[in-house]
Amino acid sequence: MVWKERGAATYTKAMLQYPELPLESPLIDAELPDPRGGRYRLSQFQEPLLAVVFMCNHCPYVKGSIRELVDLAEAYRGQVAFVGINPNDYARYPEDSPEGMVAFAREHGIFFPYLLDETQEVAKAYRALRTPEVFLFDERRLLRYHGRVNDNPKFPDQVQSHDLKAAIEALLRGEEPPLKEAPAIGCTIKWRPGNEPEVKIG
């Protein structure tokens, strides 16, 4: 499969050999801190749907899609719980520090939990590779959609396919998402040295 983000390079999914979390997988529970205060467990949210979004502060693809994420979280408040998770190594990328997360949340009006995965264990459990990367779970907390927010997260004015929104609307109607998997388009997760997952090319 080949896909292209307008204004950027062409990517080929077949070249990336990394086992993704299968559709229909149950929610992988975790408890993580929010730098703004408190701790959250993914299983605590009672909304019909749960969107787990691996994201960070410095990635231009996150910056280009955060407005849509916040708007979706607001539009579906009470129906979809959004949880952001920052797995990046902020020792090497200081902009992704806990203090930076607080500033980023304030700047972009992020009102949902934005949590820190300092050990990167949660990102590895979900087999996430990019920011932003979305895992959408249904009322049974089974994975029903995985991948991108939209087809052009870096250039929001050029978006043509709002894939996360379409998946949310379908699931809330009791229907199958029109697209169940759409390869995440974004920055690679910034792994701590020696903690990188084994991703094969070819």
CATH number reported for the structural domain that contains residue 103 in this entry: 3.40.30.10
Is 155 inside any structural domain?
yes
Is 150 inside any structural domain?
yes
What's the domain range around 123?
48-196
How far is residue 115's CA from residue 201's CA, in Å, rounded to a whole number?
31
Is 149 inside any structural domain?
yes
End-to-end CA distance of the chain: 13
pLDDT in tens, 24-54: 999 999 999 999 889 999 999 999 999 999 9
How far is residue 180's CA from residue 191's CA, in Å, rounded to a whole number?
27
Is 15 inside any structural domain?
no
Is 3 inside any structural domain?
no
Is 135 inside any structural domain?
yes
Across 108-124, average pLDDT? 98
How far is residue 123's CA from residue 117's CA, in Å, rounded to a whole number?
7
The pLDDT value given to residue 161: 93
Is 170 inside any structural domain?
yes
Is 169 inside any structural domain?
yes
Task: Count the domains in the chain.
Answer: 1
How far is residue 187's CA from residue 169's CA, in Å, rounded to a whole number?
27
CA neighbours within 13 Å on the CB side: how many for 146?
A: 18
Q: Is this prediction's pTM over 0.85?
A: yes
